[in-house]
Amino acid sequence: MEVRARAPGKIILAGEHAVVHGSAAVAASIGLYTSVSLRLPSPDDNDDTLTLHLMDVGLEFSWPIGRIKEILPHSVNNDASSPTTCSEETIKLILTVLEDFNIPEANIGIASGVVSFLWLYTSILGNKAAKVIVSSELPLGSGLGSSAAFCVSLSGAMLALSGSVEVDFDQDGWISFGEKAQQLANKWAFEGEKIIHGKPSGIDNTVSTFGNLIKFKAGALSCIKSNMTLKMLITNTKVGRNTKALVASVAERKKRHPDAMTSVFAAVDFISNEFASIIQSASNFDDDVTNNEQRISELMEMNQGLLRCMGVSHTSIETVLQTTAKYDLTSKLTGAGGGGCVLTLLPALLSATVIDKVVGELEQDEFQCLVAEIGGNGLEFRFDRRS
């Protein structure tokens, strides 16, 4: 039996950094996915190993099930219906099974993802043999939620074969879990994210699980159903950024200029709320679409200006903004800033020729360009009955 699952990445449309200081923010899924294929061997296969193949980094890991039982005795009595946190002691134990693999220095950050995989797998499916293949359309470490999509797609595939959620094995095509199963997958994915990031907000995995858009403020998340088709050019500057340092720098600026920065954060709050309102109430009439795109463009422009006020832009980001502005397109950074990715709104009537010109010019600066629809489906899965 084989199951395939996929989960989307995410972007922050409005509210970066200001959300830490009480403002609202809006996040959305993007039409770029991490995909997982999970195959359980048949009784005739006589296979007693667990294999993980990370296609995008060219790494493969394989462990005898006996070794898994030895390191992770909880796998004998797993309970997929009750997500649990991996302790620091268990993380150290899991790391010992990676010592036999020569992970290149350039991919050393992959180790936490493998630990997350082993914890999720043994907690949900126990100590069964399996072959798991992971591939992704998302660039790693760029602020597009690649680790969350990894954890969500893994959790979805594992739960689909765990017997702990209701699934229709005879249904064709991509299908979604019911609400309870979605919630369970999201909780497991969050446990995986905690292994990778320590103290994640939970926003990335929630967007990846449920799709569409999410507005969040003061720790409260609310799902938004989009009534508007949005397409964005996502430009990866390939400039690494230190999120913690950038968050700290904004906090320091607030200490130095409390009144001014409070006003900045308040303005961002209005922008995020208006952004969410436009997307929820939009219609598909041509005049309305053009008007709404103009309003969103203006909100993005204002938000980027306020992010400059916070001190989190970067020369690479400004280069993207200058290039897209030549084509009358509006862009803003997404995520932590200081590099990372930039969003450019692509109006519905924009020709493919113009998009190609913009992409070509940005790629000359060695940026990576991805075009994606915003606010689509979240976690989905399908069964391959030929396996």
Q: What is the dihedral of CA 32, 34, 37, 38, to 10 degrees?
A: -140
Contact 115, 94 (CB under 8 A): yes
Distance of alpha carbon 375 from alpha carbon 362, whole angstroms: 25
Nearest Cα neighbor of 210 from 284, 276, 126, 148 is: 148
- Cα 321 to Cα 13: distance, rounded to the nearest angstrom: 16
Q: Is 178 helix (H, G, I), strand (E, B) or coil?
A: coil
Q: How many residues does the chain have?
A: 387
- DSSP letter assigned to residue 77: G
Q: CA–CA separation, 232 vs 9, rounded Å?
A: 13
Of these residues, 44, 56, 168, 204, which one is catalytic? 204
**Inter-residue long-range contacts of 269-273, CB under 8 Å, 24+ positions, other chains counted:** 269/15, 269/18, 269/22, 269/23, 269/24, 269/217, 271/14, 271/15, 271/299, 271/302, 271/303, 271/306, 272/14, 272/15, 272/18, 272/23, 272/24, 272/25, 272/26, 272/215, 272/217, 273/24, 273/215
- Give yes or no: 204 in active site: yes
Coil, helix or strand for 376?
Answer: coil
How many CA atoms lie within 13 Å of 10's alpha carbon, on the beta-carbon side?
Answer: 30
- Residues labelled catalytic: 204
